[in-house]
């Protein structure tokens, strides 16, 4: 097969002359407990992040998103916040957070922090007050407390399931020891959902936003952004709750044209009023503060409603992540993403990995690379590591060639796979426990980073301690082993990010190029660069006059091998 005849096809997106940083930024996700540990306790912390910010500058990203570091009992690794205005002692102090933001800004990096508004921790002062105050109190009205059904209130108020497994309701015990009301939690029982019909909740979060904006953060990543408002009356629903179909291991449905129906707990009209209010707050600050929503919503046209001009600035594009490794599906998702976002004037974002999904170097090594299990463990199908890495590098180079804004999850620049053979007794993800182990959960993508191949704990911590063990083969993936090594994944990302900046690819346009190999190869032009991604297992011949700028794997004899992406200059 040959790419000799590349012919111009559909223009899916036109260049963007607007200059706000978030329109074209590459944003690096730091998962603080696993990035770098300064204190030596084996859990990453904010001083550890600050000390390693140079790595991100060397890599060439524009911004950092920090997963939660707030005061928390860590029932869901910090997504259970007990105090939104303080740093958990595990991660440091408020002064450490200030120092991190200051150092990042000195280095020219923006900082986005996580905002978790759907639920608090059950150890939050509000929830403790609600338990103490009893039924009918204003304290309980900040959450969804209900009497149970059945003769003695022994049945949950409705049939909703928790996304982590089991019922979405837990019954409380009154001070005299008798069973009391139930409360709603879409996630773990230690994460009670707030009632966003209550104006006090709105006021509290507006204040939390200002607290962090005043400290100088450049914006927020909004957790479960489609879940805060529930349908009136909390009606029963017989569907299956997952963040998106497929995250529980089944196949993704059609994210492009899908039904958008995720039940009465998701994507309700009222959430948009919240983003409008927050946008007004952000707009009162200088410096283009931005907000990205984690909204697992389909179809893409429905997701784009979160990024209308007076709402959030960006939304994660999980349809791209879910499209797997299949040329026609990716072409369709990419085209539809631009169509939906361009219609509302928002940038399209791209993401392949994060702290909630099996890393793409492992997913793409599975027999079926569109399969997205919630974790991989002993006894499960083990990915083909070599093929997974080769495809992951190709997928990353494809992603970084796309106009818009891209998210890089810590460690993907090293080609890290998941830890796919973690002992179950080391797991911490509540999803593992709440499903009785049926889902392995997300610990495998949260293993501490390898910095130095020869150091104890691979340089993650000064004592060598790591809260989860690192696979032995990660020594060779450590930053110091890859730095300066020709062809390493780290150097591939650096080169791609440098070229992306030099060629202004983030602000560019996308025109598809057609060829006889269109079922196997994605081909498009972004400004002066032609991106070719061969997703199949056959080699294809490159155009004769191509100058190769960068490739995700070795190219020989004018051939683009299977599972390889190349960036070319064509005359």
Catalytic positions are: 223, 294
Please, which of residues 202-221 interact with ligand BGC by CB under 6 A?
none
Q: Residue 415 or 441: which CB sits closer to ligand BGC?
A: 441
Please, which of residues 95-134 interact with ligand BGC by CB under 6 A?
116
Among 195, 223, 298, 413, binds ligand BGC (CB under 6 A): 223
Residue 38 CB, shortest distance to ligand BGC, in Å, is 23
Among 294, 311, 412, 443, binds ligand BGC (CB under 6 A): 294
Among 65, 187, 306, 409, binds ligand BGC (CB under 6 A): 187
Residue 79 CB, shortest distance to ligand BGC, in Å, is 3
Residue 126 CB, shortest distance to ligand BGC, in Å, is 17
Q: Residue 88 or 503: which CB sits closer to ligand BGC?
A: 88
Any idea of the CA torsion for 458, 45, 400, 275, to the nearest 10 degrees?
160
Map residues 50-79 to x or -, x wherever contact with ligand BGC holds by CB under 6 A. --------------------------x--x
**Residue 161 contacts ligand BGC per CB under 6 A:** no
User: Residues binding ligand BGC: what is the number (CB under 6 A)?
Assistant: 9
Helix (H) or strand (E) segment spanning residue 544: none
Q: What SS3 string covers 29-71?
A: EECHHHCCCCCCCCCCCHHHHHHCHHHHHHHCCCEEEECCCEE
Tokens encoding 357? 């999904």
Any idea of the CA torsion for 380, 244, 80, 65, to the nearest 10 degrees?
100
**Residue 224 contacts ligand BGC per CB under 6 A:** yes
Any idea of the CA torsion for 165, 189, 432, 74, to the nearest 10 degrees?
150
CA dihedral sign, ordered 18, 346, 405, 16: negative
Residue 62 CB, shortest distance to ligand BGC, in Å, is 21
Q: Are 433 and 187 in contact (CB under 8 A)?
A: no
Q: Residue 116 or 521: which CB sits closer to ligand BGC?
A: 116
Residue 298 CB, shortest distance to ligand BGC, in Å, is 16
Helix/strand/coil percent split, the chain, to 5: 30, 20, 55
Asked if the bond preceding 299 is cis, omega within 30° of 0, the reply is yes
Q: Residue 224 or 560: which CB sits closer to ligand BGC?
A: 224
Among 96, 267, 356, 412, binds ligand BGC (CB under 6 A): 356
Residue 364's SS3 state is coil
Residue 431 CB, shortest distance to ligand BGC, in Å, is 8
Helix (H) or strand (E) segment spanning residue 381: none
Q: Residue 96 or 294: which CB sits closer to ligand BGC?
A: 294
- Residue whose beta carbon is closest to ligand BGC: 79
Q: At residue 541, what are phi and psi to the nearest 5 degrees?
A: -80, 135
Please, which of residues 225-254 interact with ligand BGC by CB under 6 A?
none
Nearest Cα neighbor of 116 from 43, 45, 191 is 191
**Integer Cα distance of 244 and 262 in angstroms:** 8
Residues that bind ligand BGC (CB under 6 A): 76, 79, 116, 187, 223-224, 294, 355-356
């Amino acid at each position: 097969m040959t790419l000799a005849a590349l012919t111009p096809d559909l223009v899916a997106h036109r260049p963007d002359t607007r200059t706000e940083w978030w329109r074209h930024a590459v944003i690096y996700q730091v998962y603080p407990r696993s990035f770098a540990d300064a204190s030596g306790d084996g859990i990453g912390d904010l001083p550890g992040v600050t000390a390693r910010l140079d790595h991100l500058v060397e890599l060439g990203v524009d911004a950092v998103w920090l997963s939660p570091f707030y005061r928390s009992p860590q029932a869901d690794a910090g997504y259970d916040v007990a105090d939104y205005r303080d740093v958990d002692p595990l991660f440091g102090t408020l002064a450490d957070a200030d120092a991190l933001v200051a150092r990042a800004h000195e280095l020219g990096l923006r900082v986005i922090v996580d905002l978790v508004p759907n639920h608090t921790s059950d150890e939050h002062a509000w929830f403790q007050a609600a338990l103490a105050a009893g039924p009918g109190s204003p304290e309980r009205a900040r959450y969804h407390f209900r009497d149970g059904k059945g003769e003695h209130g022994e049945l949950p108020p409705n049939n909703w399931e928790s996304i982590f497994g089991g019922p979405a309701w837990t019954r409380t015990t009154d001070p005299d020891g008798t069973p009391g009301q139930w409360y709603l939690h879409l996630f773990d029982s230690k994460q009670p959902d707030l009632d966003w019909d209550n104006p006090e909740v709105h006021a509290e979060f507006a204040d939390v936003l200002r607290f962090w904006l005043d400290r100088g953060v450049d914006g927020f990543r909004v957790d479960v952004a489609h879940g805060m408002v529930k349908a009136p009356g909390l009606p029963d629903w017989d569907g299956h709750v997952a963040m998106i179909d497929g995250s529980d291991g089944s196949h993704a449905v059609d994210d492009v044209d899908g039904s958008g129906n995720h039940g009465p707990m998701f994507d309700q009209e009222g959430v948009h009023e919240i983003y409008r209010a927050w946008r007004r707050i952000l707009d009162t600050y200088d410096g283009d503060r931005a907000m990205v929503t984690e909204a697992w919503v389909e179809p893409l046209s429905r997701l784009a409603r979160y990024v209308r001009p007076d709402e959030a600035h960006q939304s994660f594009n999980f349809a791209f992540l879910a499209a797997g490794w299949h040329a026609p599906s990716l072409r369709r998702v990419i085209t539809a993403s631009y169509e939906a976002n361009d219609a509302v004037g928002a940038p399209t974002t791209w993401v392949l990995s994060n702290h909630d999904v099996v890393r793409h170097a492992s997913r793409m090594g599975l027999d079926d690379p569109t399969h997205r299990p919630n974790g991989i463990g002993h006894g499960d199908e083990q990915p083909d590591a070599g093929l997974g890495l080769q495809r992951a590098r190709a997928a990353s180079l494809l992603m970084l060639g796309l106009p818009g804004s891209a998210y890089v999850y810590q460690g993907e620049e090293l080609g890290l796979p998941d830890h796919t053979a973690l002992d179950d007794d080391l797991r911490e993800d509540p999803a593992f426990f709440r499903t009785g182990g049926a889902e392995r959960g997300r610990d495998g993508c949260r293993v501490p980073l390898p910095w130095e191949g020869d150091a104890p704990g691979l340089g993650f911590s000064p004592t060598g301690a790591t809260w989860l063990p690192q696979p032995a083969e990660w020594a060779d993936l450590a930053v110091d082993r890859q730095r300066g090594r020709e062809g390493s994944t780290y150097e591939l990302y650096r080169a791609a990010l440098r070229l992306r900046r030099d060629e202004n690819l983030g602000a560019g346009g996308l025109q598809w190029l057609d060829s006889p190999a269109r079922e196997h190869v994605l081909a498009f032009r972004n400004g002066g660069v032609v991106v070719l991604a061969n997703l199949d297992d056959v080699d294809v011949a490159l155009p004769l006059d191509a100058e190769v700028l960068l490739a995700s794997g070795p190219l020989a004899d004018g051939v683009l091998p299977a599972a390889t992406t190349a960036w070319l200059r064509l005359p």
